[in-house]
Amino acid sequence: MRGFTFVMGACLALALDAVALAATDTPEQVVRSTADAVIAKVTADRDALRADPKRLNALVDEMIVPRFDFPRMAQWVLGKYWRDADAAARKRFIEEFKNLLVRTYATALLEYSNQNITYFPVQTTGDSRSVTVKTEIEQPGSVAVPILYRMHVKDGYWKVYDIAVDGVSLITTYRASFASEIRKSGIDGLIDNLAARNSSTAAATTQTQ
């Protein structure tokens, strides 16, 4: 798959204010109406965000994280192993998985360079509370990259529970990777490994400032 991290940059199109996320708006309207404004903000503040990783992470945490249904994503990523995890392990996994994605999103935001985004009609699944928003992001000198946002209504707002780029699902990708780690070291081992990686990356980022 072409640069899976790249899709995280596209997620800034979903960094929406709470009012715009109301379920009365269609998912396509929500994405389209805010994408230009958010891209402009990131572009204008790129140098400051690059110089201050903590500020960049805070931006992701404030504007993007609330737009995702991390409990559902975590459950689907763990698959059958979710049933074997107790409440404490589930809570820890959700938090470390969220931290992993925050780091990935933050890095990818700085790589975004105002590529044109094309929006297509929303694809329904037969359930009006679950839809797919299809977009394509142009790439200079290459074919456009298709990005699918799978969204559903939770607590009255449209939230993302999976993303697919070039037909490859984020959930599927992480599920395969995490299942391998769980088979080697168990669910607690996976969580400990994620926590160590997140802490290591945070420390390295601080040292480079």
For the whole model, what pTM was predicted? Answer: 0.80
The predicted structure's pLDDT at residue 12:
44
**Per-residue confidence band for 9, with pLDDT thresholds at 50, 70 and 90:** very low
Terminal alpha carbon distance of the chain? 32
* E strand map for the chain: 117-119, 123-124, 130-139, 142-154, 157-165, 168-169
CATH no. of 6-208:
3.10.450.710
Higher-pLDDT residue of 7 and 89 is 89
Phi-psi region of 167 (alpha: psi -120 to 50; beta: other; left: phi over 0): left
Q: pLDDT (tens digit, 9 = 90+) per residue, 134-161?
A: 889 888 888 998 988 898 888 888 888 9
Average per-residue pLDDT in the chain?
Answer: 79
What one-letter code names the amino acid at 13?
A
Backbone dihedral angles phi then psi of residue 153, each to the nearest 5 degrees: -90, 125
The β-bridge partners of 142 are 139
| Residue 78 contacts residue 93 (beta carbons within 8 Å) | yes
Position 21 pLDDT exceeds 70: no
Parse the chain into domains and list their residue ranges.
6-208
